[in-house]
């Protein structure tokens, strides 16, 4: 019985058995020479099955396989995994490879059918897209092998158990980092922003050369040196940029399988990395009914590692957000004027008005940018023509919500608060654009 455990029957065998049984039934009814044919078919089938079993089981390790998983997966991105198969049989085998992927994907149909020649190696590549952070447990790799006869299958089970963490989108972070280093951010949709005026961080006094701005001439140094000298300025550096992430219930809504909270976490990772590359200091604050995590702004080498680990470990009960607690902690912890990128969501003007007093106080002390989300599913409804009374009603409600979003932007602007209304999938690019715009205007 132990020998038979890895033995499986194929569809081809059921067809052959059905034919033999049919012959026996016919011979029982008709008699004569059909009985002899039925017996011959039966013994032929037994012989073929015995031959197929010998071919499959005479080599103990006919198939060897394993899965290669990355050390960590990137949330919201397509991550590539590979399964390596090698055939030690002296003939071509036909394989059905079933991988036991984590239960979070809710899939039990991930299988691959391949043929592998004698002594050949085969690599199977596939991609998975996680939409939640946390630990993902991979099971075994199951390989069902058939010989050229194809009546029986033998199962090989390779223990490839692995627990792989899913981190915020480090793939997205590296993509924008490389583009920033090579000045190719425009390829990802980041706008070229013209720098306005001078940032007032003085660097040195140098001799005038053709092309220098004559408005920077230092007349005292010119008189002392008896040659034209100009002041040289550099971009202001070491400004503090904090990503402030609302973990309350307003961030629970999913788009394309990813919650608004995870969109904000992915964008925070990218903008923190861009800020450090621009010689600014990056920090992090998370909150819901109370303050969650605080990473003080810094541009040290290990700062991005701290931020990534902190973002990975964020957990939430999606409770009601308390902006008064946020204001109190920001006032206590952040003493230098900083850029606060507040990732939250407001669905109505009334939701904004409840939090507006605290937002105004934050704006008085810091440069506050409120980043909230368009309901892209609502936009689809707005673009669809209404043909029935029910559809007209739904479209009217959608237009009301869409109008409220635009009204929120205007309401924030009345109090000098920067606002960014964006679709979830464009959050990262639009946040980078806003940061670079504020840098170009000398506001941070």
Quote the tokens at residue 340: 């606060």
Which residue shows structure tokens 């541009």? 299
| Contacts for 15 with CB less than 8 Å, ≥ 6 apart | none
- What value does the mean pLDDT take over residues 291-301? 93
- Per domain, the residue ranges of the chain are 7-57, 63-167, 170-194+236-440, 201-234
Percent of the chain scored above 70 by pLDDT?
83
Q: Are strands 134-138 and 162-167 parallel, antiparallel or unpaired?
A: antiparallel
Tell me the pLDDT tens digit for each residue of 143-197.
999 988 887 889 999 977 899 999 999 999 988 876 665 555 555 555 555 554 4
Nearest partner of 432 among 189, 166, 257, 247, judged by Cα: 189
Chain-wide mean pLDDT for the chain?
85
Q: How far apart are CA 138 and CA 114, in angstroms?
A: 22
Q: Are 396 and 230 in contact (CB under 8 A)?
A: no
Angle of the 260-277 helix axis to the 170-181 helix axis, nearest 10 = 30
414: β partners: none
- Residue 119 is given by DSSP the state T
Q: Are 27 and 41 in contact (CB under 8 A)?
A: no
Q: How far apart are CA 346 and CA 371, in angstroms?
A: 10
pLDDT at 3: 40
Tell me the pLDDT tens digit for each residue of 26-65.
555 555 556 666 667 667 777 877 888 888 888 889 999 9
| Contacts for 414 with CB less than 8 Å, ≥ 6 apart | none
Q: 271: number of CA atoms within 13 Å, CB side?
A: 32
pLDDT at 289: 93
Which of 57-61, 331-335, 438-442 bottoms out in mean pLDDT, i.e. has the lowest?
Answer: 438-442
Tell me the pTM: 0.80
Q: Are strands 93-99 and 229-234 parallel, antiparallel or unpaired?
A: unpaired
Which residue shows structure tokens 């039925």? 38
Residue 140 has pLDDT above 60, yes or no: yes
pLDDT at 190: 56
pLDDT at 322: 95
Q: How far apart are CA 26 and CA 162, in angstroms?
A: 55
What is the widest separation between alpha-carbon atoms in the chain?
128
Quote the distance between the C-alpha of residue 412 and its chain's center.
30
Q: What b/e sequence results for 17-37 when a residue is b if at least 16 CB atoms lie within 10 Å of its CB, and e otherwise? A: eeebeebbeebeeeeeeeeee
CA 220 to each of CA 62, 139, 207, 228: distance values in angstroms, whole numbers, following the listed order = 88, 75, 13, 10
Residue 216 has pLDDT above 60, yes or no: yes
CATH class of 63-167: mainly beta
255: β partners: 258
CATH class of 170-194+236-440: alpha beta
Q: Are 295 and 268 in contact (CB under 8 A)?
A: no
CB-based burial of residue 328 (10 Å sphere; 0-12 exposed, 13-18 middle, 19+ buried)? middle
In three-state secondary structure terms, 433 is helix
Quote the distance between the C-alpha of residue 271 and its chain's center.
15
């Amino acid at each position: 019985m132990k020998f038979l455990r890895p033995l499986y029957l194929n569809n081809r065998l059921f067809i052959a058995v059905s034919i033999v049984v049919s012959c026996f039934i016919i011979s029982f009814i008709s008699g004569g020479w059909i009985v002899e044919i039925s017996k011959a078919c039966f013994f032929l089938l037994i012989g073929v099955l015995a031959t197929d079993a010998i071919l499959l089981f005479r080599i103990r390790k006919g198939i060897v396989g394993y899965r290669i998983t990355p050390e960590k997966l990137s949330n919201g991105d397509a991550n590539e995994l590979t399964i390596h198969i090698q055939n030690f049989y002296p003939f071509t085998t036909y394989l059905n490879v079933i991988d036991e992927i984590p239960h979070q994907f809710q899939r039990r149909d991930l299988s691959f059918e391949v043929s592998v020649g004698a002594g050949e190696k085969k690599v199977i590549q596939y991609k998975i897209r996680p939409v939640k952070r946390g630990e993902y447990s991979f099971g075994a790799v199951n390989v069902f092998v058939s010989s050229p006869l194809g009546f029986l299958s033998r199962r090989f089970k390779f223990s490839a158990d692995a627990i792989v963490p899913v981190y915020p989108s480090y793939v997205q972070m590296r993509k924008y980092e490389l583009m920033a280093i090579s000045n190719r951010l425009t390829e990802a949709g980041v706008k070229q922003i013209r720098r306005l005026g001078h940032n007032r961080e003085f660097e040195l006094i140098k001799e005038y050369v053709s092309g220098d701005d004559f408005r920077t001439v230092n007349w005292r140094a010119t008189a002392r040196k008896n040659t034209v000298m100009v002041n040289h300025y550099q971009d202001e550096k070491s400004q503090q940029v904090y990503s402030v992430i609302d973990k309350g219930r307003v961030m629970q809504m999913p788009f394309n399988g990813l919650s608004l909270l995870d969109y904000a976490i992915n964008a925070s990772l990218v903008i923190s990395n861009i800020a450090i590359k621009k010689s600014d200091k990056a920090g992090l604050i998370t909150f819901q009914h109370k303050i969650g995590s605080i990473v003080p702004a810094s541009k040290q080498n290990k700062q991005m590692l701290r931020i990534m680990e902190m973002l990975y470990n964020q957990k939430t009960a999606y409770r009601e957000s308390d902006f008064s607690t946020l204001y109190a902690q920001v006032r206590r912890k952040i003493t230098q004027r900083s850029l606060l990128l507040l990732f939250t969501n407001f669905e109505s003007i009334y939701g904004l008005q409840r939090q507006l007093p605290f937002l105004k106080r934050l704006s008085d002390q810091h440069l506050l940018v409120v980043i909230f989300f368009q309901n892209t599913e609502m936009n689809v409804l707005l673009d669809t023509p209404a043909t029935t009374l029910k559809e007209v009603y739904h479209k009217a409600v959608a237009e009301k919500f869409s109008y409220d979003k635009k009204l929120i932007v205007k309401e924030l602007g009345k109090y000098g608060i920067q606002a960014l209304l964006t679709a979830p999938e464009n959050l990262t690019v639009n946040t980078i654009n806003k940061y670079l715009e504020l840098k170009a205007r000398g506001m941070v």
